C-alpha cells in the first residue's frame, strides 16, 4: 500500500497538532506539579519519620538488648585492650558487615530460598 505524503499540513491537522501541543504542555505541567508534590511529601514525611525515629531510638537505648550490646563492647575492649570507641566501632562495623552480606545474599537468592 502506497501513501501520499502532503508536506503542507491541512487546517484540520494544524488544529489537531496545536491541540496535541497544548495537551502535551498541560501534561508536562501536570507532571511537574505531581513531581513537586511527591518530592515535597517525601521530604515532609522524612522529617516526621526522623522525629518518630528519634523517639524510637531513645526507647531502644533503654532496652535490655541494647544493654547487652554495651556489655559485649565492654568485654571486647577488656579482652583486646581497646578503648570504648574502638570496641564499639568494631562491634558496629562487624554487625553492619554481617547485615550487608545477608542483604546481598537475600537480594541475589531471594528471602524464601535463604529461609528454606
User: 54 in a domain, yes or no?
Assistant: yes
pLDDT band at residue 5 using 50, 70 and 90 as cut-offs = very low
* All cell numbers assigned to 11: 487546517
In a domain, 39, yes or no: yes
Range of the domain at 23: 14-62
Residue 75 lies in a domain: no
Domain assignment of residue 4, yes or no: no
Q: Give the per-residue pLDDT at 75.
A: 94
Longest dimension (CA), the chain: 88
Residue 5, in any domain of the structure: no
Q: What is the residue whose three cell numbers read 581497646?
A: 82
**Residue 37 is assigned to a structural domain of this protein:** yes
Tens digit of each residue's pLDDT (9 = 90 or more) over 92-114: 999 999 999 988 888 888 766 76
Tens-digit pLDDT profile for residues 25-76:
676 777 788 777 777 777 777 666 667 778 888 899 999 999 999 999 999 9
Angle at 43 between CA 37 and CA 44, to 5 degrees: 85
Q: Any idea which residue has 541475589 for its cell?
A: 108
Residue 17: the pLDDT is 57
CA atoms lying within 13 Å on the CB side of residue 74:
6
Asked if the structure places residue 50 within a domain, the reply is yes
Report the C-alpha gap between 75 and 81 in whole angstroms.
10
The answer to pTM > 0.75 is no
Task: Give mean pLDDT, residues 78-99.
Answer: 93
If one counts every other C-beta atom within 10 angstroms of the C-beta of residue 89, the result is 13
Nearest to 73 by CA among 61, 85, 57, 63: 85
Domain count of the fold of the chain: 1
What Å distances lie between residue 11 and 44, 56, 62, 114, CA to CA? 49, 66, 76, 65
- Integer Cα distance of 39 and 78 in angstroms: 48
Amino acid at each position: 500500500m502506497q501513501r501520499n505524503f502532503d508536506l503542507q499540513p491541512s487546517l484540520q491537522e494544524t488544529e489537531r497538532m496545536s491541540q496535541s501541543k497544548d495537551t502535551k504542555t498541560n501534561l508536562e505541567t501536570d507532571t511537574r506539579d505531581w513531581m513537586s508534590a511527591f518530592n515535597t511529601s517525601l521530604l515532609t514525611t522524612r522529617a516526621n519519620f526522623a522525629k518518630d525515629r528519634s523517639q524510637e531510638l531513645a526507647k531502644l537505648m533503654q532496652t535490655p538488648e541494647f544493654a547487652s550490646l554495651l556489655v559485649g563492647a565492654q568485654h571486647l575492649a577488656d579482652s583486646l585492650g581497646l578503648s570504648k570507641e574502638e570496641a564499639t566501632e568494631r562491634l558496629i562495623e562487624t554487625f553492619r558487615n554481617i547485615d550487608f552480606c545477608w542483604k546481598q545474599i537475600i537480594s541475589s537468592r531471594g528471602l524464601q530460598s535463604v529461609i528454606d
